[in-house]
Amino acid sequence: MKELTLSILSITYWTDSTTVLTWLQSQSCRYKVFVGARVADIQEMTEGSVWRYVNSRDNPADDITRGLNLSQFLGHNRWSHGPTFLHQDEAFWPAIPDISSSDDSAELRKVTFCGHISVPSDPCLPDISTFSNFSELLEASVRARHGAATASNPTAEDYKQAELALFRRVQRDCFPEEFDLLASQKSVPTNSRLLTLAPEYDQESLLIHVGGRLRRCDCIQSCLTLIITSPS
């Protein structure tokens, strides 16, 4: 077309396949890789143009497959001059068929559902909002974590682990982004409200603590570091 001296006002492409017409009028991502990639290429190269359908009877490109001899091609025929309907008004062009049911299901991608379910980090813990003081919450947490069989005689370690689990629940609920970043040994965002506390993630307690130089002291770490919680 670059060599033509005529001004091209519009371009119409033709196909004798209703399946291809369906593909070109759909999103390429609906199809498997082989078909989808080629549909995407054709859609990009013919963007802004019109695709129409021509049946095999009126398609001159099929003449070469119908056993015509050379003399028939050399004469005045539609192979060299185009089909008759192209010399007429568009109103006489082949009608566009209904292609709503022409989709080739064999080439469609399989629909895959990808769901995401969020569950508490420790589903055994009770609902914190239903308790008025920490002592009752801690007692309920020990019972919930260990069951009725052992809750009658809990140990100091039971209370300690229940308390740590409660703090983890609070930190995950109040600082989810910071908790995940620090647990992955990454820095918190510069706009984080925890930034001024120099937060550090403790691999033993699995909690965020207030950072600082005191952590380098030869003292019991639990006495030197503060667990970060939300004021609310």
Q: Where on the phi/psi map is residue 226: left (φ > 0), alpha (ψ -120 to 50), or beta?
A: beta
Residue-wise pLDDT for 11-37, tens only, equals 889 988 888 888 888 888 888 888 889
Q: How far apart are CA 124 and CA 28, in angstroms?
A: 47
- Asked if the model's pLDDT at residue 41 lies above 90, the reply is yes
Distances (CA, A) of 201 to 41, 117, 175, 183: 50, 25, 13, 6
Distances (CA, A) of 100 to 27, 96, 150: 14, 12, 66
- Asked if the model's pLDDT at residue 47 lies above 60, the reply is yes
Between residues 78 and 174, the one the model is more confident about: 174
* pLDDT given at position 120: 56
| Percent of the chain residues topping a pLDDT of 90 | 12
| Sign of torsion over alpha carbons 126, 132, 134, 139 | negative
Residue-wise pLDDT for 121-146, tens only, equals 566 788 888 888 999 999 998 888 87
